[in-house]
Structure 1
Amino acid sequence: MIKKHADIIVIGGGIVGSSILFQLAEAGYTNSILLEKSKFASGSTNASGGFLRVLHNDFEHTKMAFEGLPEFDRIKMNCDFQKTGMVYVINSDDKPKYDHQIEWLKNNGISIDYLSSSEYETWSNIVQLKNTDTVIYEQEAGYLDPVTCTNDWINRAVELGAEAHEGINVQNILFSDGEIKGVRTSFGDIYCNILILAAGAWSSRLVRPLGVDLGMYSKAIQINFFENQKQTAHPIVIDEKSDIYLRPHAGGSSILMGQPTSEFEVNLEQDMSLNHEDTLQLIEQHNPQYNWLNINNLFGGRRSFDGFTRDAKGILKKEETIDGLIIASGWSGGGVKLSPSIGKKVTELVESVKKERTIHESFHRGRV
């Protein structure tokens, strides 16, 4: 039976929402419910490459990924983690931007450094480097199964006393007098004190009737599967210049390759399949640098969407205009490796909201 009252409701059953629920439960907030409109990890989490890395082009995200490492160390073997190392390709002109990050990570025990072209070429041939490329290598990076990870966190949260429900569609957010009251769902109203919005691309739609503009947009994401005709064991690759990313797939017999798309404001209710034109464009634009790219090597893929922000930094805040509303959305396809840190920071925001309410109530009691 689904509760009709809870202290906290989390909307969104992807990897971010599951991390939030688990960390809330672990912190003692067990009167919490997670609601997912479909199946857990069925949205952008299911189409994720599951990369587990620390280095990002934004230093704040690098620090968030670093902060989440202890939690991933605790569970990654349950989530089919594969250590491959990471090749991070940047334009040489951008090297000064990364020098400070690399020094900070090395000082904090992360095995990471620049590789010369000759060092890279004696070890990997998955990417043909250009003269203007610089390679950064992160030794402990790899990938995991984000669906398994999502379910692991949900199961652990439930064991601690929280609840999580699939197939419950949140239709509206209930609020009055500037305060969150609960949600209206396909199974009736559920009331709460704090509402956490971790619904990815659906988040903007849910808060728009409240007069809140998150400045988010939806965008399609696509991954393609190619037969691996290069080296069986190869690192994950992030090509910062082109937003291409790839990793081994199916035990290394194939390659998972993600690509940017130009499909914005997608229909969130539609079932999405691989876009053939986008795949052809990928091959045309990135062969010969990825000289194994060939339409004859393609054997499938996945297409989904996520919520994006214009600065790709995500939204993690208390909504100042509505008491009890916390936003944790817009991770622009990068929520997997940031999810433990997001869960921790949301829990801190919950504690902040509760503290502010206690002070507020004490003040008004004193006036009476």
Structure 2
Amino acid sequence: MSISSGETVIIGAGSTGTSIAYSMIRSGMKVNLVDMNGVASGNTGKSSGLVRSHYSNETVARMAKFSHEVLSNFSEIGYSGYTKTGMVYAFPEADIQSEKMNVEMLKRIGVEIGEIGSDRLKSFYDPINMENFDYITFEPESGYADPVATSNSFASRAMELGATININKKAKRIKKDENGTRVYFSDGTERVYDRVVMATNIWTNKLLRDSGVDESDLLPINASRHNVIYLRRPHLYAGPKPVLWDMAQLSYYKMEGDTITAVGSLDPELDKIQTDSEEEIFDEASEEFMEKYLGNISRRLPYMENAEYISTVSGRYDMTPDGEPIIDELFHLGLGDVYVCAGLSGHGFKLSPAIGNIVSDMIQGKKSRDCMFDWEIFNRKRFRDGRLIGRNHEDIGTLY
């Protein structure tokens, strides 16, 4: 008969699972990290890797600020590939008041951010079409990092500190029994653990369903497809430049290195379009998507109409109704000592250090009021009780 190993198993080795593993092992717990493929082999590998503190919910902004500090000072853990570029947030008139309130909150918690004028913006991008850029803010310390390198560094450092990692090991079912929490794997093995952490992204409900959870009790997490278009920008826009968030066109333009530009969507309507989490998707966008977002960047930065197309990357967000994660124990589903950390809604990588900290504290039995972050707002009951997490920018996807 299997007996408990005293370990916590973390299912899923993306940026979330690897950060949790690192935080837990640093706290002296025994950790086994498993993944059905490999480290950062899922949606983490499709992330554009933006790192910023600009959020409009204070708890999430504090998490983002902490995570930014970790990712930009990562040498003790490994290599994050962090590159400071700054980020420009350009808003139309309708969003001025909400962004002013947001900037006040961000400054209060210690984020360096402020209003800039059109001349400063033109010093970054020239020529640029300023239409509907009625209020512009700038976060100079933000930038981007490498999600795959970061996840592998978290995993490697966790192993150095005593964690075990098993790749190509798929968890098929979870069951509570008298010895602990039993996990059944696709290779025919099974093992009893003290605790289970599901960092399982869009595959969370499938694992719960296969573990006997009723359909009515599944978590409100849906898969939503998101595309990023990669271009080689013309010489006129070459060199290091800040990321540009174009709120009027619900688009962002990540200036990577000296010549690469990534174009993505901020349209919350795309978040609502559900896809099958089990369906294989390919790195290609629809003709409609390509036409719209290539048109957006060309209207904003006119010479980008001469950019060279490189590729398209297609990944999926694990979306919740309020665009914020679910971090909670699942005892109400008959799965005590099983914790879920999913529904990251496109924010997972940039919040991963804070999420690792939260889950580690939660599993140690600490009270959120005594810890760095109030994780109680991320509980599953908020959807049942109609207490969705609020923010200033409701109508701009991923800028929650």
Aligned residue pair count: 349
Q: Deviations over 1:110-139 (max 9, x none)?
A: 321011223322333486332353211001
2:375 corresponding residue in structure 1: none
Pair 1:183-2:179 in alignment: no
Which residue identity does 2:280 align to in structure 1? Q
Alignment partner for residue 274 of structure 2, among 264, 271, 289? 264
Pair 1:326-2:326 in alignment: no
2:251 corresponding residue in structure 1: 244
* Structure 1: gaps spanning 5 or more residues: 355-368
How far apart are residue 69 of structure 1 and its match? 3.5
Maintained 8 Å contact 1:247/1:257: yes
Alignment partner for residue 365 of structure 2, among 345, 348, 352? 352
C-alpha distance in structure 2 between counterparts of 1:319 and 1:267, whole Å: 21
Which residue identity does 2:146 align to in structure 1? D
C-alpha distance in structure 2 between counterparts of 1:126 and 1:42, whole Å: 39
How far apart are residue 267 of structure 1 and its match? 4.5
C-alpha distance in structure 1 between counterparts of 2:149 and 2:112, whole Å: 27
1:234 corresponding residue in structure 2: 241
Larger deviation, residues 165-174 vs 269-278: 269-278
Alignment partner for residue 300 of structure 1, among 297, 301, 311? 311
Maintained 8 Å contact 1:86/1:238: yes
Larger deviation, residues 329-338 vs 125-134: 125-134
SS of equivalent residue, structure 1 residue 234: coil
Which residue identity does 1:193 align to in structure 2? D
SS of equivalent residue, structure 1 residue 183: strand
1:223 corresponding residue in structure 2: 228
C-alpha distance in structure 2 between counterparts of 1:255 and 1:127, whole Å: 15
Pair 1:166-2:167 in alignment: yes
Which residue identity does 2:70 align to in structure 1? E
1:339 corresponding residue in structure 2: 352
C-alpha distance in structure 1 between counterparts of 2:259 and 2:343, whole Å: 33
Q: TM-score, normalised by structure 2?
A: 0.80
C-alpha distance in structure 1 between counterparts of 2:277 and 2:317, whole Å: 11
For the structure 1 residues 93 and 73, does the alpha-carbon distance in structure 2 shift closer, same or farther, using more than 3 Å as the test?
same
C-alpha distance in structure 2 between counterparts of 1:333 and 1:126, whole Å: 31
Alignment map for 1:1-368 (pairs within 5 Å)? 5-29=5-29, 31-75=30-74, 78-125=79-126, 128-131=129-132, 133-176=134-177, 181-187=181-187, 188-208=189-209, 209-211=212-214, 212-229=217-234, 230-232=236-238, 233-249=240-256, 251-259=257-265, 261=270, 264-277=274-287, 278-284=289-295, 287-294=298-305, 297-321=308-332, 322-352=335-365
Q: TM-score, normalised by structure 1?
A: 0.86
SS of equivalent residue, structure 1 residue 210: coil
C-alpha distance in structure 2 between counterparts of 1:207 and 1:68, whole Å: 29
For the structure 1 residues 301 and 172, does the alpha-carbon distance in structure 2 shift closer, same or farther, using more than 3 Å as the test?
same
RMSD value, Cα: 2.6
* Structure 2: gaps spanning 5 or more residues: 368-400
For the structure 1 residues 226 and 346, does the alpha-carbon distance in structure 2 shift closer, same or farther, using more than 3 Å as the test?
same
How far apart are residue 198 of structure 1 and its match? 0.8
